[in-house]
Amino acid sequence: MKILVQKFGGTSLSTAEARANVIEHIQDALNQEYKLVVVVSAMGRKGEPYATDTLLDLISKNGDCLPAREKDLLLCCGEFISAATLCSLLHANGIPAVALTGAQAGIQTNDDYGNAQIVSIVPNRILDLLEQGNVVIVAGFQGQTSGGDLTTLGRGGSDTSATALGAALKAEIVDIFTDVSGILTADPRIVEDAKPLDVVSYTEICNMAHLGAKVIHPRAVEMAMQAGIPVRVRSTFNKHPGTLVTHPEAMKQSGTLHDRFVTGIAHVPGISQIRVAAQEGAFDLQLRVFKAMARERISVDFINVNPSGVVYTVFDQETDRALKALAELGLTPLITSHCAKVSIVGGGMNGVPGIMATIVEALTDQDIQILQSADSNTTIWVLVQGEDMARAVRALHRKFNLHK
Ligand code: ASP
Ligand code: MG
């Protein structure tokens, strides 16, 4: 069976006009003889009647007292409504379709309510329905425990439903439809001449996604990568082919491998740098600091340990808690709040000399100070003052010729 999974996000389903576009994409896939599984998110965004945030607002007034299990019961409803609504539209257009909840689609998860992990998918029912000529609509973002309780997969989880189903069904491709025409070289709100990318590797997009380019959930990419299934990020509102996310080997084979060192520039604001100096002879400093952060469940990043001390970052909103924990250890760190992490992402930079020199040159030309840096073989990160963030992203975008 030649199977395609299409996933439509909240904005793709929020208005009648948007839903008409969805029907067109479904029709296109059927015309190409695909057996089609359509994964849907809840319709609309915060403030709109059936959006996930709107459902959360229903109970927020009652304090934070609804148990996680029951909260998932509520949250699943957004995707139920969406699946049934799309099903009615397909029927109205003469397209045979069946809507399934995540549980009915065979998605089993653990019982970590609100952030459940998929443990297995038994896709027999979907396969039977496809065989019988149906479009199968699956409510995204959800599954059920072995005991039959409904769970949700964490915010943005319907991307994960889509790629997990793609993997279980050995789909040819998973299309993630959203409101942008693919992945851009930078955030267009900062870089006016940011360009859509036609192809990126799984690792590159994971780095871009984690770092602020919020087009697809990194967990979803990870699943597609493990199964080796290509993903396309495309717009619901046009026929642009979007960005293909795949393995570098597949890019090579299809002749789409780009001879580029840097693929895109991502950014995350709202970061605090914490510097703790080591007293002479205090060899256990790092152990005490990081154990304290772990106890407080504060996630740390940009970690640098050296004989003169420990430097790391936390999100601004965690700073007070981090400081309190350090004070309890008798430590008085130096804090620089409101910083930003700027990431230069590119699978092609591995082993290429001169990339760091180019980054430093681009930022020095703009009088931007680098507070810290780190690197992996596909990404270089620099920490800058928040007020320098936009200028840094623009300067790097230009320096690496990403506008061309
Ligand atoms: N509706 C869920 C959310 O808003 C899942 C998703 O959209 O992917 O997080
Ligand atoms: Mg999403």
Candidate of 43, 158, 163 to mutate for ligand 1, largest count of ligand atoms within 8 Å of Cβ: 158
Kindly give the distance from the C-alpha atom of residue 148 to the centroid of ligand 1, in angstroms, as a whole number.
21
The closest alpha carbon to 11, from 38, 61, 65, 50, belongs to 50
Segment 353-380, tens digit of pLDDT = 899 999 999 999 999 999 999 998 889 9
Would you say residue 307 has pLDDT above 80?
yes
Would you say residue 27 has pLDDT above 70?
yes
The pLDDT assigned to 353 comes to 87
166 carries a ligand binding annotation: no
Q: Which residue has the higher pLDDT, 204 or 132?
A: 132
Q: How far is Cα 180 from Cα 196, in angstroms, rounded to an integer? A: 9
Q: Which ligand is in closest contact with the Cα of 156?
A: 1
Would you say residue 256 has pLDDT above 60?
no
Give the pLDDT band of residue 62 (cuts 50, 70, 90).
Answer: confident
Cβ atoms of 36 and 25 within 8 Å: the answer is no
Share of the chain above pLDDT 90, in %: 81
228 carries a ligand binding annotation: no
What's the mean pLDDT in 106-129?
Answer: 98
Give the pLDDT band of residue 259 (cuts 50, 70, 90).
Answer: low
What's the mean pLDDT in 239-260?
Answer: 77
What's the mean pLDDT in 74-82?
Answer: 98
Residue type at position 298: I
Q: How far is Cα 165 from Cα 163, in angstroms, rounded to an integer? A: 5
Would you say residue 210 has pLDDT above 80?
no
Q: How many CB atoms lie within 10 A of CB 242?
A: 24
Kindly give the distance from the C-alpha atom of residue 221 to the centroid of ligand 2, in angstroms, as a whole number.
12
Would you say residue 250 has pLDDT above 80?
no
Q: Which CATH superfamily is domain 3-254 in?
A: Acetylglutamate kinase-like (3.40.1160.10)
Look at ligand 1, atom 4, and give the residue with the nearest C-alpha. Answer: 52
> Domain spans of the chain?
3-254, 264-400
Counting from 1 in the atom list of ligand 1, the atom nearest the Cα of 9 is 7
The pLDDT assigned to 126 comes to 98
Kindly give the distance from the C-alpha atom of residue 189 to the centroid of ligand 2, in angstroms, as a whole number.
19
Candidate of 38, 57, 155, 215 to mutate for ligand 1, largest count of ligand atoms within 8 Å of Cβ: 155
Q: How far is Cα 194 from Cα 192, in angstroms, rounded to an integer? A: 6
Segment 263-290, tens digit of pLDDT = 999 999 999 999 999 987 777 899 999 9
231 carries a ligand binding annotation: no
Q: Which residues surround ligand 2, an ion (CB under 5 A)?
A: 9, 156
189 carries a ligand binding annotation: yes
The pLDDT assigned to 329 comes to 94
Q: How far is Cα 27 from Cα 4, in angstroms, rounded to an integer? A: 12
The pLDDT assigned to 254 comes to 62
215 carries a ligand binding annotation: yes
Q: Which ligand is in closest contact with the Cα of 78?
A: 1
Instruction: Name every protein residue with a CB atom under 6 angstroms from any ligand 1 atom.
Output: 9-10, 41-42, 52, 78, 140-141, 155-159
Counting from 1 in the atom list of ligand 1, the atom nearest the Cα of 141 is 5
Counting from 1 in the atom list of ligand 1, the atom nearest the Cα of 160 is 8
Kindly give the distance from the C-alpha atom of residue 141 to the centroid of ligand 1, in angstroms, as a whole number.
6
Regarding the domain delimited by 264-400, which CATH topology (the fold level of the hierarchy) does it fall under? VC0802-like (3.30.2130)
Cβ atoms of 218 and 206 within 8 Å: the answer is yes
382 carries a ligand binding annotation: no
Kindly give the distance from the C-alpha atom of residue 288 to the centroid of ligand 2, in angstroms, as a whole number.
38
9 carries a ligand binding annotation: yes
The pLDDT assigned to 130 comes to 98
Counting from 1 in the atom list of ligand 1, the atom nearest the Cα of 161 is 8
Q: Which residue has the higher pLDDT, 378 or 223?
A: 223
Q: Report the interhelical angle of 52-60 vs 68-92 (nearest 10°).
A: 140
Candidate of 41, 57, 82, 138 to mutate for ligand 1, largest count of ligand atoms within 8 Å of Cβ: 41
Backbone angles phi, psi at 241, to 5 degrees: -65, -15
Counting from 1 in the atom list of ligand 1, the atom nearest the Cα of 217 is 8
Residue written as tokens 């640098």? 304
Q: Which ligand is in closest contact with the Cα of 45?
A: 1
